[in-house]
Structures are given as C-alpha cells and as structure tokens.
Amino acid sequence: MKSRRQRAILEIIGAEVVQTQDELAQLLRERGMEVTQATISRDIKELGLIKVPVSKDESRYAPPSEAAQVPQAPDRLRRLLRDTVTHVDSSLNIVVIRTLPGHAHAVAGAIDYSHWPEVLGTVAGDDTIFIVVKPVEAVAALMAKIQGWVE
C-alpha cells in the first residue's frame, strides 16, 4: 500500500500543481486511497519532496531532482548569510564559512543551488562549510561577495 501510494504521489505532482498537503490528500482520496495528514507528511519526507516556486507568492511540491533546476533566490541566500554566518576565511582555493550551530547545511545548500561558476562544491558540517573554488584567483572575489552579504 505504501509503495503504491508513494508512486501515486509522484504521478500526481508530476501531472498537477499541488501546493498543500490537503490538496495532495484530496487527490489521493479521489484515487481511492484514504490517507491522513500524518501519512502525507511522512510520505513527503521519505520521498524527499521539495517546494519549488510557481510564482512570486506560490509554490508547489516537486521531486528532489527539480531542486537543481530551480535557481536559488538571491534574497534567501543573502538572508541566510546575514542571519547565520559568524566568520569567513580562506586558505588557497578553499573558503571556510562558520555559521551558527545547525545552520551550515542550509547555507551550503543555498550556495550549491546558486550555481556560482567558481564554486566546485561545498561540504557542510554542523557549523562549518568548506567551499572549493576554482580557479584559486576567484577566491578573493567570492570572499568579498559573501562578506558583503554577511554585513
């Protein structure tokens, strides 16, 4: 039942704009599946569904594969950097960002989804992010960008 329901969820969000768990539950009920909000919530988490923007004020559920196709909103990234970053430093081609405890993954994810060409990738712990930069000459400009958004 669970795998059938989760397949149905993926089919539904692939075919329709679903903005809320209530909408998703109703669409599953229309397919003859009785579900609770708790079940929907667990399925969304297990499937790794994300919310992607449809317009300025609306979002919809999507599979995690769509995350890379959605440009990271610069305002959100700026807000994350401003609100959570405590220190920025570098060594050769690695920029190190220190955040408040528990925030490194969110900041690293936002940086990854920003698709900055000089960023090869990020690695995040609880409060520390390593950003690998290429070419090494791009480190100073990247640090200036980040520090400008932190202040």
User: Which residue, among 79, 140, 136, has the nearest Cα to 110 in the 3D structure?
Assistant: 79
Q: What is the pLDDT of residue 126?
A: 87
Q: What is the pLDDT of residues 76-99, one digit of tens each?
A: 788 889 889 999 999 999 999 999
Which structural domains are found in the chain, ordered by start?
Answer: 1-68 (1.10.10.10), 73-148 (3.30.1360.40)
Q: What is the pLDDT of residue 127?
A: 93
Report residues of the chain scoring pLDDT below 70: 56, 65-73
Q: What is the pLDDT of residue 31?
A: 94
106: which 2 tokens? Answer: 């969110």
In the DSSP assignment, the letter for residue 57 is S
CA atoms within 13 A on the CB side of 101: 0
Hey, is 74 helix, strand or coil?
A: helix
